[in-house]
A and B are shown apart, each in its own frame.
Chain A
């Protein structure tokens, strides 16, 4: 969804979700290539297509909203970044290095008793890594929420159906 980057625009959108009783899983917001226009990506769990259609229509009614796309059923590139702080003793460090390698995650901070791991990818991948790290003792997790684009070619449509993304 693209919007005019005006004061209060995020408030308008989230207010609309509250008013209509839609639950937001995640939001990401940032500038686009055009000055004054921002892109927002929402992950929303809904019961049926009709609700998704209502959300899209209600968002479209906002004067500052320029374009809304429901990309749930399209081939998309979806990415999320997470920072995970794990409690570790020096002995376990090497083990963690090995563990995170297949996830192409990186250690971005090392302390005496903890490590901070940065991972980027689809939400399921982030979820999987967090799961694996749980046994070491996770101190904190910070996730950005999902941002997404539709793929250049729609033929290879993958079935990403866990949630509606707008």
Chain B
């Protein structure tokens, strides 16, 4: 035992190369998987990776690597780790960094850089990556001395995963990976400028308890902060204890069970009538871990006009940013909810309010017109929901298919839903599914994508095939960029400028070229058959499902309108278009 300690000490003091330090640091952080792509500037790192025993997924594009890392982080709660080379390797991850920044996903991203001596000389594959990524990372580093590397990596993991999570980038000049230094990973992280507030202020909690006891029409708007804090149970307990109904943001879905009587659905541009009207009529709005995104609030001038606003968020900058807030609570969602549950306060008398909401729920459910002979995209999502018992991990891109999935896949559990919310990134769903499946090998993973977005990152089918990941990729094929087409129909006099793409590859043959089973359906009956077949197979399957091309997402809050000005709430309203 004593010998081992001495051995350990000796190892710590050993002089090793920067590349080796990186590998040792990743082991110390218990990193299970790296998503990456090699290149000139990271050759020394990849050489050490070769026999390190760390699992590395070679995606076919750096964008695929970072989206996969995002999917992994979303499902596992652990940081996603990415390695990309300098120059184009690094610039290819810019979209993913921004996406992770917007949706608060913890990532630690290593980029290669040209050697220190030639930085600034426009060397081959040189790009000012720290400069480029400053506004789209939570923090970033460029290594100047090999000795700093362990400290930087340790800080990066700490910053990425604590407070409001986010991506941290470490730019490593090539010579920093070959030079040697002492490896000491035991030093504590010391960041005086970074001390996130985790526990709520007691006084503010009391204020909220008081506000709840006086409220007649309270509502909770729960965002992804609840998921990051692992606070789903507490949210349910609190809502039930106080009899307060719950609305989710797009990213929050699954934090509260969709089949719960207190659940009102998703809010915002394509939210449910009940959720949006509840936000309009409420007298107390308790925001837990949501950032009042414009797609949630609609026109701010008529957002929650009758409400006292309370906002629980771990990021103080989000409180009061978009909506004036009476009761600010800077805290981790779980800690705040635990505190709220413990408080003795008279619960709100919400019976009348709940009766009103129940009436709306019954009178204005999500609707679509099912027409025989065509495959309605909404129906397709319902079929996937039923086949997977509502328990699958579902990933999407952005657009119509994303909204239909959010509306019709009724998530019962947290951390089953992986979507690009804030940035709205096409091509996100497929690589994200790879990361999600690697984070949970047992889960059924369905990647629901549009025919547009799929073609942006489809090269990652190769990874799915290579790793034999039994992901079901469902292309909701309307031969158009559906949401763009919808906006052009509604707001640009049906001038479909470059949004219709009937010229597309044979997706089934494409799947087969990747050695993946491909199935196609053009009617509902065919879809039932191919979906059943796909979900009975424990292997990757690509499904090309042709859906009604002119279907729109409803209800809808038009841009610039208030949440109460939704259109398409009832079927007959569609004729108003």
Binding site for B on A (CB under 8 A): 3-4, 7-8, 11-12, 15-16, 19, 50, 53-54, 57-58, 60-66
CB contacts (< 8 Å) of A19 on chain B: these are: 135
Interface string of B300-325 (1 = CB under 8 A from A): 00000000000000011100110010
Q: Within the assembled complex, what's the spacing in Å between the Cα atoms of A61 and B313?
A: 14
| B interface bracket (residues with beta carbon within 8 Å of A) | 10 to 19
- Residue of B135, B142, B159 touching A15 (CB-CB under 8 A): B135
Central interface residue in B135, B138, B142, B191, by most chain A CB within 10 Å = B135
Q: Which residue of A lies closest to B321 (CB)?
A: A54
- Nearest CB of B to A52, in Å: 12
- Asked if B316 contacts A63 (CB within 8 A), the reply is no
- Asked if B142 contacts A4 (CB within 8 A), the reply is no
Interface class of chain A by DSSP: helix
- Nearest CB of A to B536, in Å: 49
Listed A/B pairs (28) with beta-carbon separation below 8 Å: A3-B193, A4-B193, A7-B142, A7-B144, A8-B130, A8-B131, A8-B142, A11-B134, A12-B134, A15-B135, A19-B135, A50-B320, A50-B324, A53-B320, A54-B321, A57-B316, A57-B317, A58-B317, A60-B316, A61-B315, A62-B193, A63-B139, A63-B159, A63-B193, A64-B193, A65-B193, A66-B192, A66-B193
A-B contacts counted at CB < 8 A amount to: 39
CB contacts (< 8 Å) of B191 on chain A: these are: 63
- Asked if A61 contacts B317 (CB within 8 A), the reply is yes
Q: Which of B514-547 contact A (CB under 8 A)?
A: none
Q: Which residue of B lies closest to A55 (CB)?
A: B317
Binding site for A on B (CB under 8 A): 130-131, 134-135, 138-139, 142, 144, 159, 191-194, 315-317, 320-321, 324
Q: Which residue of B lies closest to A62 (CB)?
A: B193
Q: Within the assembled complex, what's the spacing in Å between the Cα atoms of A65 and B191?
A: 10
- Nearest CB of A to B173, in Å: 13
CB contacts (< 8 Å) of B193 on chain A: these are: 3-4, 62-66
CB contacts (< 8 Å) of B194 on chain A: these are: 63
- Nearest CB of A to B266, in Å: 27
- Nearest CB of B to A163, in Å: 21
- Nearest CB of A to B31, in Å: 22
Q: Within the assembled complex, what's the spacing in Å between the Cα atoms of A15 and B159?
A: 20
Q: Within the assembled complex, what's the spacing in Å between the Cα atoms of A144 and B185?
A: 43
- Asked if B135 contacts A16 (CB within 8 A), the reply is yes
Q: Within the assembled complex, what's the spacing in Å between the Cα atoms of A24 and B316?
A: 23
- Nearest CB of A to B73, in Å: 20
- Nearest CB of B to A24, in Å: 16
Q: Which residue of A lies closest to B316 (CB)?
A: A57
Q: Which residue of A lies closest to B319 (CB)?
A: A57
Q: Which residue of A lies closest to B193 (CB)?
A: A66
- Nearest CB of B to A104, in Å: 39
